[in-house]
């Protein structure tokens, strides 16, 4: 055969051989590898889908948790507020009670004092009256009628009372 | 070896030498292409893969005229088609 | 001292095509069975064996190194097809991989001292012809037969012969380019071996010791690099020509 000869037999057999190699490569290399690659792609897709689902679930759980947290915070704030209000009321009541007690006690003391003074005045008046009568009897040494007597005493007492 | 055969052999040898003049064109062309490819890679180093691939294909296409000359020269020297 | 023939190196340079092993005559038609076909079977066996080895025991998780290589290869070629031709040509990927592997392994067997499959012009002409058929089919599919025939008279009817020529030149140039690179590289390597063996003989050595090591440097370019490059370029051009035969990718979204 020549260097640059074209041979029909070689062409036909080469065509056949190329076809055989084409089918062989397709069957032995491309089909299994592409099957594996698509299976792996499917696995990757599934994993991604799972991850996506998990993320969605986690987000839902987080939202729920956040809501619960907010509610709890509100509740605690309410409790604190109520307790503060109660405590304030209570302290005001106590202070008011204490003030009322103090006022009562002072009132009683003042009444007592006033009564004491009254009694002392009355006692003093009668003592002064007796004293004045005896002093006057001794000084005047004369009989005076009871009317004058009483009038004099009253005048005296008035003057003493004014001087008080 | 008679005279006519000697003339044919002489002509074949000279023809083979002349056929290889075809090597000038691809030489110049490929040198130019590779120079341009170097410039392109220097300007955009990240595109070196694509530039190199294209350059090799272009070089191979440019080389074909030289290869034709080589085939003719080989035919003339070794196959002596005119004897 | 008698040295076995296979140790003395090439005594004369022989450039020829594939040897004919058997031929069948049917009337005036001769069907040749050549060396190339046997080598193709070897190459196919190697490629399919490799593919079967790499894809043995595939798993979704805990992948083995073999499986990683297989997946990388499939993904690389798929991405190449998608980038070059667009997503609607993805079904074409196994054929691209077939030609790529066939071309690389068919060229690389020259490292074993066998004749490279791709240094037989008929093989490359076959692949180029398949490409031509696919290009034509794509043009007819998207433009109709009328549109396809009208394309030859574009832009003016005078261009008809030039258009026909360029239509035929596309696959021919592809085949010739690949063939010329591999066959030319093979001949240059043969010349190097022949020359080094002659140098050894000239200094009086029966065993050509110069052919050890020195050609490996050249072989690195002419066999390894050139083989990979040509296989890659062949499939690149194939993909570009075929995808250019159809309309632009976004215009064809509705039809595909």
pLDDT in tens, C195-217: 888 888 788 777 777 777 778 88
More confident residue, A163 or C195: C195
Predicted confidence at residue A146, as pLDDT, reads 74
Q: What is the largest CA-CA distance in chain A?
A: 197
Q: Cα(C90)–Cα(C80) distance, rounded to whole angstroms?
A: 10
Q: Which residues of B touch C176 (CB under 8 A)?
A: 64, 67-68, 71
Contact criterion met (CB < 8 Å) for C19 and A1: yes
Interface size between A and B, measured as CB pairs under 8 A: 7
Q: Report if residue C19 sits inside a domain.
A: no
Three-state secondary structure call for residue C31:
strand
Q: Which range marks the domain in which residue C104 is found?
A: 5-9+31-252
Asked whether the ipTM of the predicted complex exceeds the cut of 0.95, the reply is no
Q: Report if residue C15 sits inside a domain.
A: no
Q: Which range marks the domain in which residue B75 is found?
A: 23-79
And the tokens for C204? Answer: 């009086």
Q: How confident is the model at residue A20 (pLDDT cuts 50, 70, 90)?
A: very high
Predicted confidence at residue C160, as pLDDT, reads 85
Nearest CA in chain C to B74: C184
Q: Report if residue B14 sits inside a domain.
A: no
Q: Report if residue C109 sits inside a domain.
A: yes
Structurally, how many domains does chain C consist of? Answer: 1
Expressed in angstroms, the distance from the first to the final Cα of chain A is 168
What is the average pLDDT score of chain C?
A: 82
CA distances from C141 to C22, C134, C236 (A): 41, 10, 22
Neighbours of C76 (CB within 10 A): 11
Neighbors of chain C by Cβ distance (3+ pairs < 8 Å): A, B
Q: Report if residue B68 sits inside a domain.
A: yes
Q: Report if residue B54 sits inside a domain.
A: yes
Residue found under tokens 């044919």: B8
Provide CB contacts within 8 A for C116, sequence distance 6+: C106, C107, C108, C109, C110, C182, C183, C186
How many Å lie between the alpha carbon of B74 and the closest alpha carbon of chain A?
Answer: 9
- Residue C12: phi, psi to the nearest 5? -145, 150
Chain A touched by C210 (CB under 8 Å):
no
**Domain CATH number, residue B69:** 1.20.20.10
Picking from C236, C230, C238, the residue whose alpha carbon sits closest to that of residue C105 is C230
Task: Specify the DSSP element, H or E, that contains A91.
Answer: helix A31-140
Q: Report if residue C17 sits inside a domain.
A: no
Q: Report if residue C26 sits inside a domain.
A: no
Q: Report if residue B51 sits inside a domain.
A: yes
How many Å lie between the alpha carbon of C215 and the closest alpha carbon of chain B?
Answer: 20
Contact criterion met (CB < 8 Å) for C20 and A1: yes
Enter the DSSP assignment of C24.
E
Q: Which residues pair with residue C33 across a beta bridge?
A: C22
Q: Report if residue B40 sits inside a domain.
A: yes
Q: Report if residue C194 sits inside a domain.
A: yes
Q: Cα(C9)–Cα(B80) distance, rounded to whole angstroms?
A: 24
Q: Cα(C131)–Cα(C171) distance, rounded to whole angstroms?
A: 7
Q: Looking at residues C178-191, what average pLDDT do you find?
A: 85
Chain C touched by A44 (CB under 8 Å):
no
- Long-range contacts: A90-93, Cβ < 8 Å, 24+? none
- Residue A27: phi, psi to the nearest 5? -80, -40
Angle between the N-to-C axes of helices C93-108 and C121-152, in degrees from 0 to 180, rounded to the nearest 10: 150
Structurally, how many domains does chain B consist of? Answer: 1
Q: How confident is the model at residue A153 (pLDDT cuts 50, 70, 90)?
A: confident
Q: Report if residue B10 sits inside a domain.
A: no
Picking from C14, C9, C11, the residue whose alpha carbon sits closest to that of residue C211 is C9
């Amino acid at each position: 055969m020549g260097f640059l000869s074209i041979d029909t037999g070689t062409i036909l057999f080469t065509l056949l051989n190329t076809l055989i190699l084409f089918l062989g490569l397709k069957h032995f290399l491309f089909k299994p590898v592409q099957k594996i690659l698509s299976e792996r792609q499917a696995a990757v897709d599934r994993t991604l889908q799972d991850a996506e689902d998990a993320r969605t679930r986690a987000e839902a759980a987080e939202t729920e948790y956040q809501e619960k947290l907010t509610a709890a915070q509100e509740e605690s704030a309410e409790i604190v507020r109520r307790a503060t209000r109660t405590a304030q009321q209570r302290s005001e009541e106590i202070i008011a009670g204490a003030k009322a007690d103090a006022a009562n006690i002072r009132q009683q003391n003042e009444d007592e004092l006033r009564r004491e003074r009254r009694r002392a005045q009355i006692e003093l008046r009668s003592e002064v009256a007796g004293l004045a009568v005896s002093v006057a009897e001794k000084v005047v040494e004369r009989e005076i009628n009871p009317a004058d007597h009483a009038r004099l005493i009253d005048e005296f007492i008035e003057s003493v009372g004014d001087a008080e | 070896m008679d005279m006519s055969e000697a003339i044919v052999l002489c002509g074949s040898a000279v023809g083979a030498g002349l056929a290889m003049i075809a090597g000038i064109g691809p030489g110049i062309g490929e040198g130019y292409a590779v120079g341009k490819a170097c410039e392109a890679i220097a300007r955009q180093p990240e595109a070196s893969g694509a530039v190199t691939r294209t350059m090799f294909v272009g070089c191979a296409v440019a080389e074909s005229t030289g290869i034709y000359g080589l085939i003719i020269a080989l035919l003339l020297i070794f196959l002596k088609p005119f004897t | 001292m008698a040295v076995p023939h296979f140790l003395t190196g090439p005594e004369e340079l022989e450039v020829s095509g594939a040897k004919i092993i058997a031929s069948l005559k049917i009337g005036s038609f001769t069907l040749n069975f050549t060396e190339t076909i046997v080598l193709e079977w070897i190459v196919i066996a190697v490629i399919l064996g490799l593919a079967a080895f790499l894809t043995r025991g595939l798993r979704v998780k805990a992948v083995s190194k073999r499986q990683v290589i297989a997946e990388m290869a499939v993904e690389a070629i798929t991405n190449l097809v998608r980038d070059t031709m667009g997503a609607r040509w993805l079904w074409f990927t196994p054929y691209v991989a077939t030609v790529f592997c066939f071309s690389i392994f068919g060229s690389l067997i020259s490292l074993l001292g066998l004749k490279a499959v791709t240094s037989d012009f008929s093989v490359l002409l076959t692949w180029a012809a398949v490409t031509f058929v696919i290009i034509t089919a794509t043009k007819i599919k998207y433009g109709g037969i009328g549109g396809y025939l009208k394309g030859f008279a574009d832009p003016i009817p005078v261009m008809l012969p030039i258009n026909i020529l360029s239509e035929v030149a596309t696959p021919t140039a592809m085949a010739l380019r690949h063939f010329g690179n591999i066959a030319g590289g093979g001949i240059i390597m043969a010349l190097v071996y022949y020359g080094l063996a002659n140098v050894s003989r000239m200094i009086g050595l029966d065993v050509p010791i110069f052919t050890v090591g020195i050609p490996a440097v050249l072989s690195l370019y002419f066999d390894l690099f050139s083989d990979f490059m040509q296989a890659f370029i062949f499939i690149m051009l194939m993909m570009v020509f075929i995808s250019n035969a159809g309309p632009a990718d976004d215009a064809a979204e509705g039809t595909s």
